[in-house]
Amino acid sequence: MSQLSDRQKIILSLVVHEHTRTAQPVGSKSLIDQYNLRISSATVRNEMNMLEEMGFLRQPHTSAGRVPTEEGYRFFVGNLVQHTSLPSATRNTIAHQFYQSRKGLDHWLPLAASVLANQSQAVSIVTAPHSENITFKHLELIATRGNQVLLVLVLVGGEIQQQILTFDSIHSQEQLSQLAQQVNHICENRSVEQIKALTPVNNPNLKLVLEAVVDQLSLANKLVTGELYLDGLSNILSEPEFTDLQADSSPLRLLEERPLLDDLISRTVLSEDIGGVRVLIGGEGTWQELQNCTVVLTRYGIPDQFSGTLGVLGPMRMPYGQTISVVRYVGELMSDLVIENLID
Partner DNA sequence: ATTAGCACTCTCATCATGAGAGTGCTAATT
Partner DNA sequence: AATTAGCACTCTCATGATGAGAGTGCTAAT
Which residues here bind DNA, judged by CB under 7 A? 25-30, 38-43, 45-46, 48-49, 52, 59, 61-66
Spatial distance between the Cα atoms of 130 and 115, rounded to a whole number of angstroms = 21
Q: Are 250 and 292 in contact (CB under 8 A)?
A: no
Spatial distance between the Cα atoms of 66 and 31, rounded to a whole number of angstroms = 11
Window of 20-28, 78-86, 100-108, 197-205 that interacts with its own copies by CB under 8 A: 100-108
Task: Determine if 344 is a binding residue for its own copies (CB under 8 A).
Answer: yes
Of 202, 243, 259, 285, the residue at the interface with its own copies (CB under 8 A) is 243
Task: Determine if 171 is a binding residue for its own copies (CB under 8 A).
Answer: no
Task: Determine if 164 is a binding residue for its own copies (CB under 8 A).
Answer: yes
341 contact choice in its own copies, DNA, none (CB below 5 to 8 Å, kind-dependent): its own copies
Distance of CA 190 to the CA centre of its chain: 29
Spatial distance between the Cα atoms of 271 and 224, rounded to a whole number of angstroms = 12
Of 2, 88, 234, 259, the residue at the interface with its own copies (CB under 8 A) is 234
163 contact choice in DNA, its own copies, none (CB below 5 to 8 Å, kind-dependent): its own copies
Closest CA to 241 of 77, 326, 121, 327: 121
Closest CA to 125 of 269, 240, 245, 238: 269
Based on CB atoms, which residue is closest to DNA, 48 or 265? 48
Residue 101 has phi, psi (to 5 degrees) of -75, 170
Task: Name the minimum Å distance from CB 40 to DNA.
Answer: 4
Task: Determine if 64 is a binding residue for its own copies (CB under 8 A).
Answer: no
Task: Name the minimum Å distance from CB 260 to DNA.
Answer: 32
Eight-state DSSP code of residue 303 = T
Task: Determine if 262 is a binding residue for its own copies (CB under 8 A).
Answer: no
Q: Are 322 and 120 in contact (CB under 8 A)?
A: yes
Task: Determine if 341 is a binding residue for its own copies (CB under 8 A).
Answer: yes
Of 253, 262, 273, 305, the residue at the interface with its own copies (CB under 8 A) is 253
Window of 1-9, 158-166, 280-288, 317-325 that interacts with its own copies by CB under 8 A: 158-166
Spatial distance between the Cα atoms of 176 and 242, rounded to a whole number of angstroms = 55
Of 211, 256, 284, 304, the residue at the interface with its own copies (CB under 8 A) is 256
Q: Are 283 and 293 in contact (CB under 8 A)?
A: yes
Task: Name the minimum Å distance from CB 314 to its own copies.
Answer: 15
Task: Determine if 245 is a binding residue for its own copies (CB under 8 A).
Answer: yes
Binding mask 288-327 for its own copies (x = CB under 8 A): ----------------------------------------
Listed in order, strand segments (DSSP E) in 113-222 are 123-127, 130-131, 136-143, 148-155, 160-166
Spatial distance between the Cα atoms of 138 and 153, rounded to a whole number of angstroms = 6
Q: Are 129 and 300 in contact (CB under 8 A)?
A: yes
Task: Name the minimum Å distance from CB 271 to DNA.
Answer: 45
Spatial distance between the Cα atoms of 342 and 344, rounded to a whole number of angstroms = 6
Residues of this chain that interact with its own copies (CB under 8 A) are 102-104, 106, 137-138, 140, 142, 144-145, 148, 150, 152, 154, 158, 160, 162-164, 219, 231-234, 237-238, 243, 245, 247, 250, 252-253, 256, 341-344
